Amino acid sequence: MIRRSAAAALAAVLALTLLPGAPAPAAQVAAGAPSPGAPGVGDPYWPFDGNGGIDVTHYVVRDRYDFATGVLSGTTTLTLRATQALSRFDLDLLLPVRAVSVNGAAARFDKPDGHELRITPARPVARGAVVDVVVSYAGRPAGLRYAGEDTWLADGREVVTMNQPHMAPWWFAANDHPQDKATFDISVTGPATHQVVSNGLPVSRTVSGSLATTRWVARDPMATYLAFFALGRYAVERTERGGLPSIIAVSRDLGPLDQAAALRGLRRTGEITAWLARRVGPYPFESTGGLATSLDPGFALENQTRPTYPGTSPRSALLLVHELGHQWFGDSVTLRRWRDIWLHEGFATFLEHHWTETHGGPSAQTWLRRTWAARQAARGYWRTSLVDPGAGRIFSAPVYERGAMTLQALRHRIGSRAFFRVLRTWARERRLGHGTTGQFRRLAERVAGEQLDGFFRAWLVAPRPPAQTRRNGLR
């Protein structure tokens, strides 16, 4: 993600304290006896994100959006495996729920707060069992709030579901934490005058009277916050480069000059994706692309296979480098806990500076020296630890800039060849999976053949600027 103004997101911290009670620790029960799944996966930044006892492998989302009323209605069918014997389990959904079934049998449900959907199946679910859960819902997503966020982005002509770290519960029933990735099959029904753009590749479009239903399938596992749909009037272009399909879309509700500029910018998607692949290894997914919206999200976001940009922004190649760089670092290799967000943002920001130095700009090392010097006196800046920045600071400047400085300093210390081998190995070994800061440090040590704990402590954790030494990559 890149925010136009990095000032937001503080409300999220406050909201944490307003939620009703902390999730109970997993109850001690006799082995094998069914028990309730926890209401969160255990991420301290957002304790109610995701849920315990379930592992979702596939989502089928069938949504309909009515611009006149602002009502979103639909069903989500989740295929999930019980990771414990379950008497009950939760999903995350803010919309009012009409019905829930588990393996075809009606299930009892309630919503103890706005976010948790608590489901009690007619019979307990055995540990290891795979079940289909169908949730039907209808309501107005606009104005629904969770964790201080009101993420619904729509006007009378266009809707785009884009946000981080939370977006899913506004439009489908989810196990809403990046720890649980799944494949997606997304259909959206809207006016036949509109197009639908989503993740992966389009499969079909069916027109019935004044409505059209468009289906997209994403075959590669995806974190729930990266799933999206856009419904609007779009100019859509499909091209192919080296066998990789690229689908770009520009809102026709932008002014003609903005449309033309956005189209010119997005047409560089294939070229930039190919450049990134030469630097950090094969592109991880089945398609690439991008979407320029006429709405004003205030940020661009790396939705999997199809980043979304404010309409006036994709003319910046650096922004495309950032969001497409996330396809490797963030989307394919994803954090397990939000505290590790620098593994997304630091990497995408480093790739911007690497693009700059290979396209006529100053070297990334020059950028590192200048930035390090310019930040010397900024005490608060260095107090943001990149291994635990805090929920309200996951999009703060140090997460991006100090994170990118860490990578360039590592590159200077261990050499460019070893450094890019670290990035490529990280992307390859953890493709479509997860990674932690500790795992990244151990990989860097393995490739470099030396201890780097002091280096990473100085760059990621210490509440002061790293000393200007060779070991810190500054000489």
Minimum CB–partner distance for residue 446 and Zn ion (Å): 27
Identify whether the C-beta of residue 186 lies closer than 8 Å to the C-beta of residue 334: no
According to the binding rule CB under 5 A, does residue 276 interact with Zn ion? no
- Contact region with Zn ion (CB under 5 A), list: 1-9, 26-34, 172-180, 279-287: 1-9
Cα angle value 398/168/146 (rounded, 5°): 70
| Spatial CA neighbour of 331 closest among 397, 391, 287 | 287
* Closer residue to Zn ion in complex, CB, 331/345: 345
| Spatial CA neighbour of 58 closest among 2, 149, 139, 132 | 132
- Contact region with Zn ion (CB under 5 A), list: 51-59, 337-345, 358-366, 385-393: 337-345
- Contact region with Zn ion (CB under 5 A), list: 97-105, 192-200, 229-237, 346-354: 346-354
- Contact region with Zn ion (CB under 5 A), list: 115-123, 252-260, 268-276, 340-348: 340-348
Q: Which residue type sits at 384?
A: T
Minimum CB–partner distance for residue 225 and Zn ion (Å): 12
- Contact region with Zn ion (CB under 5 A), list: 15-23, 116-124, 342-350, 449-457: 342-350
The secondary structure of 277-336, three-state, reads HHHHCCCCCCCEEEEEECCCCCEEECCCCCCEEECCCCCCHHHHHHHHHHHHECCCEEEC
- Contact region with Zn ion (CB under 5 A), list: 19-27, 219-227, 272-280, 348-356: 348-356
Cα angle value 25/30/36 (rounded, 5°): 45
According to the binding rule CB under 5 A, does residue 1 interact with Zn ion? yes
According to the binding rule CB under 5 A, does residue 226 interact with Zn ion? no
| Spatial CA neighbour of 412 closest among 462, 354, 470, 344 | 470
Question: Which member of 147, 174, 348, 423 binds Zn ion (CB under 5 A)?
Answer: 348
| Cβ-closest position to Zn ion | 1
* Closer residue to Zn ion in complex, CB, 318/432: 318
Minimum CB–partner distance for residue 64 and Zn ion (Å): 31
Per-residue tokens: 347:
């990497």
Whole-number Å distance between alpha carbons of 460 and 471: 14
Handedness of CA 466, 468, 356, 7 (dihedral sign): positive
With tokens 């635990």, the residue in question is 388
- Contact region with Zn ion (CB under 5 A), list: 46-54, 252-260, 345-353, 379-387: 345-353
Minimum CB–partner distance for residue 326 and Zn ion (Å): 6
The side-by-side arrangement of strands in the sheet containing 54-66 is 105-106, 97-102, 130-139, 71-82, 54-66, 182-191, 211-222, 201-208
Q: Is 448 helix (H, G, I), strand (E, B) or coil?
A: helix
Minimum CB–partner distance for residue 398 and Zn ion (Å): 14
Minimum CB–partner distance for residue 300 and Zn ion (Å): 8
* Closer residue to Zn ion in complex, CB, 116/345: 345
Q: Which residue type sits at 339?
A: R
Minimum CB–partner distance for residue 304 and Zn ion (Å): 13
* Closer residue to Zn ion in complex, CB, 190/314: 314
Q: Which helix (H) or strand (E) holds 445?
A: helix 437-448
* Closer residue to Zn ion in complex, CB, 175/396: 396
Minimum CB–partner distance for residue 299 and Zn ion (Å): 9
* Closer residue to Zn ion in complex, CB, 226/458: 226
* Closer residue to Zn ion in complex, CB, 53/325: 325
Q: Is the peptide bond before 124 cis (omega within 30 degrees of 0)?
A: no
Q: Which residues pair with 241 in a beta bridge?
A: 244
* Closer residue to Zn ion in complex, CB, 2/54: 2
* Closer residue to Zn ion in complex, CB, 326/441: 326
Indicate the angle between helix axes 317-328 and 256-266, nearest 10 degrees.
50
According to the binding rule CB under 5 A, does residue 341 interact with Zn ion? no
* Closer residue to Zn ion in complex, CB, 63/345: 345
Minimum CB–partner distance for residue 303 and Zn ion (Å): 12
How many residues bind Zn ion, per CB under 5 A? Answer: 3
* Closer residue to Zn ion in complex, CB, 272/348: 348
Minimum CB–partner distance for residue 460 and Zn ion (Å): 18
Per-residue burial over 50-85, b if 16 or more Cβ lie within 10 Å, else e, is: bbbbbebeebbbbbbbebeebebbbbbbbbbebebb
Minimum CB–partner distance for residue 290 and Zn ion (Å): 14
Whole-number Å distance between alpha carbons of 208 and 421: 52
- Contact region with Zn ion (CB under 5 A), list: 339-347, 407-415, 436-444, 466-474: 339-347
Minimum CB–partner distance for residue 444 and Zn ion (Å): 21
Whole-number Å distance between alpha carbons of 104 and 121: 10
Q: Is 409 helix (H, G, I), strand (E, B) or coil?
A: helix
Residues that bind Zn ion (CB under 5 A): 1, 345, 348
